[in-house]
Amino acid sequence: MSARVEEKHRAPIRWMHWINFPLLAMMVWSGLLIYWANPVYSLRLFGREIFYFFPQGFYSFLGIPYRLAEGMQLHFFFMWLFGLNGMAYVAYLAISGEYRSLLPTFGSFKRAFRVALYELHISKQKPPQGKYNDAQRIVYTLVILMGAGSIVTGIAIYKPLQASLFTSLLGGYEWARWGHFWLMILFAAFFVVHVVQVVLAGWRNFQSMITGVEIIKSEGSGE
């Protein structure tokens, strides 16, 4: 039996990925400290309230109440690191050519459907898998766009007078805040799905995000 060592995730990708984790966590946490002061959003379907963000128990359990000032202090510091890390990541993707493994291609949307069928155990036919499969390409690209969206909506509510162009393009201050909130919910949802998928994909895949490498057996099933 012989094997090959695949250089899967290059060091800058790994560093920026892991640095982003605590930064995003900090942005969400401090964002919650701020949101508590005016908690007005809920999930509605056909005019009915399905879930109110957030029940009182959620705040008291996490010790969120009356920490608006602290939330703003943290949010307006970590925003710089979160923004810079995100921009560095995008710049690196562009310069290194890594975007080729990440951006969806013309066939991606069709093939992502196959990924979904396969993962839901409806189809047994394995979808094409490169560094990422097509569903991953779409979702990971969307997450980057969500980051950009958080920055833009964030600027629109942080400086609604100075950046009034952003604010009005987003439909005004209230809509910008609404968008900023729902992007956070989407990040949280992505995080949950991402962790579940990583667990399901197994150790070999997980460790490659830390070591950068994955062993590919030449005989047998391969990837």
Least distance (Å) between residue 3 CB and other proteins: 4
Least distance (Å) between residue 26 CB and other proteins: 10
- Based on CB atoms, which residue is closest to other proteins, 1 or 120? 1
- Based on CB atoms, which residue is closest to other proteins, 116 or 216? 216
- Based on CB atoms, which residue is closest to other proteins, 46 or 126? 126
- Based on CB atoms, which residue is closest to other proteins, 60 or 73? 73
104-112: Cβ within 8 A, 24+ apart: 104/134, 104/137, 104/138, 104/141, 105/134, 105/137, 107/134, 108/134, 108/137, 108/138, 109/134, 109/138, 112/137, 112/138
Write the Ramachandran bin of 78: left for phi over 0, alpha for psi from -120 to 50, otherwise beta: alpha
- Based on CB atoms, which residue is closest to other proteins, 49 or 219? 219
Least distance (Å) between residue 63 CB and other proteins: 15
Strand (E) or helix (H) holding 189: helix 173-201
- Based on CB atoms, which residue is closest to other proteins, 44 or 100? 100
Contacts to other proteins by CB under 8 A: 1-8, 14, 18, 22, 34-35, 37-38, 40, 68-70, 72-74, 76-77, 96-98, 100-101, 105, 126-134, 159-162, 164, 168, 172-174, 177, 207, 210-213, 215-218, 222-223
Least distance (Å) between residue 223 CB and other proteins: 6
The separation between CA 134 and the C-alpha centre of its own chain, rounded to angstroms, equals 16
Q: What is the DSSP string of 134-182?
A: HHHHHHHHHHHHHHHHHHHHHHHHHSTTTTHHHHHHTTSHHHHHHHHHH
Least distance (Å) between residue 46 CB and other proteins: 26
Least distance (Å) between residue 72 CB and other proteins: 6
Tokens 């399905």 belong to residue: 50
Residue 160 contacts residue 175 (beta carbons within 8 Å): no
| Angstrom distance (rounded) from CA 155 to CA 152 | 5
